[in-house]
Amino acid sequence: MKRYRQTLAELLSTLSPIETSWMDEHSAAVIHAIHRIPQKAVYKPEDLAGLFAEDFEAGLTVVRLFLGLSKDEFGIALRSTLGDGGIGVKRFRADPVGFLAGLERLGLPETIAGLVHKPVEWRDLLVERLKSGRGSAIKGQKRGRSLEDFAERIVVAVFGPGSYDTRCRFVGATGLSTEKADLAIPNKKDPRILIESKGYGATGSKQSDVLGDVERIVREKRPDTHLLLVTDGVTWRSRQSDLAKLIEWQNQGRISRIYARAMAAELEADLRQLRRDHSL
């Protein structure tokens, strides 16, 4: 593979937004459950039971949205009112009356009634709470996965299906330790090529963690193993010092090359050359 010396200006010019939806299947089920709630003056235990009629986990998320609690906060509150035992679907099925009584003690019926009769559209408010909480995390996960999928499609086109390991821990240079990577070619036991995908803010982790993840791969891999880094997202422009650090590692040969999605042709060409270089 040709040696490259990339620049910050060059890479910034190739970056593009990573557009994703905040919705997943669970979010859709939650919205469906929200729209099944009747608008009433007073809510009774049987109304609470209706929240769990089709999908218990979706119903439980609706309860958390009404109460405005995080998953951890809600778990602590519900355990304190239910006593010993779990707080999941098994507990509900074993003792639905006791489970609903616990929700009543948390003030759920009054909270529902108060929110339903606010001048704002209460269903929209719950959806917004879902979007800003779970939805934000889902968008981050999807950004990261979209970059992984982008890289994997090109790997399949060059090497064929089943010719690599994905989202694995590859064996390092000493043979005594491992490290995580998105793609290891031809396999995780003796990779000749490693591909890591990192989008700015893709997983909700601190941006410094991106540098740490890449640095751990650099330290663990054999010097003659090529590390290709795939990234994107215009928000990198607000953390150019971190991107500059990655480019510094590329110029030092610790990373063979950094790619954005606009560089798909270059990534494919380099992988084809690496396939020839390594007789894969």
CA max distance for the chain: 73
| Alpha carbon distance, N-terminus to C-terminus of the chain | 14
Q: How far is CA 37 from CA 27, 43, 116, 122, in A?
A: 16, 10, 10, 11
| Digit-coded pLDDT (tens) for 42-79 | 888 888 888 898 899 999 999 988 888 877 778 888 98
Fold of 8-20+139-277: Trna Endonuclease; Chain: A, domain 1 (3.40.1350)
Distance CA 280, CA 270 (A): 14
**Taken in order 157, 161, 166, 169, is the CA torsion positive or negative?**
negative
Check residue 28 and give its pLDDT. 85
Q: Which SS3 state, helix, strand or coil, does residue 188 take?
A: coil
| Digit-coded pLDDT (tens) for 107-129 | 999 999 888 877 666 777 677 77
233/255: higher pLDDT: 255
147 confidence band (pLDDT: 50, 70, 90): confident
Residue 235 has what DSSP assignment?
A: G
Residue 13 has what DSSP assignment?
A: T
- Identity of the highest mean pLDDT range in 27-36, 179-188, 196-205: 179-188
The pLDDT > 70 percentage for the chain reads 88
In the chain, what are the domain boundaries? 8-20+139-277, 25-136
Asked if residues 102 and 81 have their Cβ atoms less than 8 Å apart, the reply is: yes
Check residue 71 and give its pLDDT. 79
Whether 27 has a pLDDT exceeding 90, the answer reads no
| Digit-coded pLDDT (tens) for 154-175 | 999 999 999 999 999 999 999 9
The neighbour count for residue 144, using CB atoms within 10 Å, is 21
Asked if residues 6 and 258 have their Cβ atoms less than 8 Å apart, the reply is: yes
